[in-house]
C-alpha cells in the first residue's frame, strides 16, 4: 500500500505535465504526511518540480531539506529541477544557502562546493551564512585544513566571521 499510494501520486502528477502547477501540491504533501506515508524520491522530485514551476521556490527548497531529513536520497533530477526553478527566477543568496546545505546533508559535498565556488562568478556576494555552511560542511568531513583556508578566504573577502564560523572548526 505504501508504494502504490505514493507512486500513484507521482505518476498521476507526471501525467498532467505542465498542468501540475495548478495542483495544490502542498495539500498532496500534507495528505501523505497525515497518512504517515513517507514520500519516495520520485514523489519528492515531482513535488519539487511542480513547486518550482509554480514559482514556489522556497517551498521546493524546504522540501529538499525535508527529503534528506526523512532519509530519502536526492537524485540528479532533484537538483536539475531546483536549478531550473532557480534559473527561471531571481534566486537570492538565501536560496543558494538552502541548496548548498541540502547538498551537504545528502552527502554531496563536492556538488555543494561547486555551487559555492560558482556563486561569485555569477555575481553573488557570499555572506557569513554561506561561508558558515561550507566551513561546517568541511569540518564535518574532517577537512579542517580546507575549513581553515576557507575561514581565511572569508576574512580576505571582507566577510566578518561570527561565533558559528569558529565553533564549526573547533
Residue spans per domain, the chain: 1-91, 95-170
Task: Please compute the mean of the pLDDT values over residues 61-76 and round it to a whole number.
Answer: 83
**Residue 170 pLDDT:** 82
Interatomic CA distance for residues 157 and 139, integer angstroms: 20
Residues across the chain: 170
pTM score of the predicted model: 0.57
Return the CATH superfamily for domain 95-170.
Tetratricopeptide repeat domain (1.25.40.10)
* Lowest mean per-residue pLDDT among 26-35, 40-49, 96-105: 26-35
Q: What is the pLDDT of residues 91-101, one digit of tens each?
A: 788 878 888 88
Residue 151 has pLDDT above 80, yes or no: yes
Candidate from 27-41, 100-114, 122-136 with smallest mean pLDDT: 27-41
User: What's phi and psi for 46, nearest 5 deg?
Assistant: -65, -45
Across 133-169, b (16+ Cβ under 10 Å) vs e yields: bbbbbbbeeeeeebbeebbeebeeeebebeeebeebe
pLDDT at 126 over 90: yes
- At 7-21, the pLDDT tens digits run 434 434 443 444 444
pLDDT higher than threshold 50 for residue 133: yes
How far does the chain reach from its first CA to its final CA, in angstroms?
47
Model confidence at 29, pLDDT cuts 50, 70, 90, reads low
Other beta carbons within 10 Å of 112: 22
pLDDT at 81 over 50: yes
Q: What are phi and psi of 9, to 5 degrees?
A: -65, -45
Amino acid at each position: 500500500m505504501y508504494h502504490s499510494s505514493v507512486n500513484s501520486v507521482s505518476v498521476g502528477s507526471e501525467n498532467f505535465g505542465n498542468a501540475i502547477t495548478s495542483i495544490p501540491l502542498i495539500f498532496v504533501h500534507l495528505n501523505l504526511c497525515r497518512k504517515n506515508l513517507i514520500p519516495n524520491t520520485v514523489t519528492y522530485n515531482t513535488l519539487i518540480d511542480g513547486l518550482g514551476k509554480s514559482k514556489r521556490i522556497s517551498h521546493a527548497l524546504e522540501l529538499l531539506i525535508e527529503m534528506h531529513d526523512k532519509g530519502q536520497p536526492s537524485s540528479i533530477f532533484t537538483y536539475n529541477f531546483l536549478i531550473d526553478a532557480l534559473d527561471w527566477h531571481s534566486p537570492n543568496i538565501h536560496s543558494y544557502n538552502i541548496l548548498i546545505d541540502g547538498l551537504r546533508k545528502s552527502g554531496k559535498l563536492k556538488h555543494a562546493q561547486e555551487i559555492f565556488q560558482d556563486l561569485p562568478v555569477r555575481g553573488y556576494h557570499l555572506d557569513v551564512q554561506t561561508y558558515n555552511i561550507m566551513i561546517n560542511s568541511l569540518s564535518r568531513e574532517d577537512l579542517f585544513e580546507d575549513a581553515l583556508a576557507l575561514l581565511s578566504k572569508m576574512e580576505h573577502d571582507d566577510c566578518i566571521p561570527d561565533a558559528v564560523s569558529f565553533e564549526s572548526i573547533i
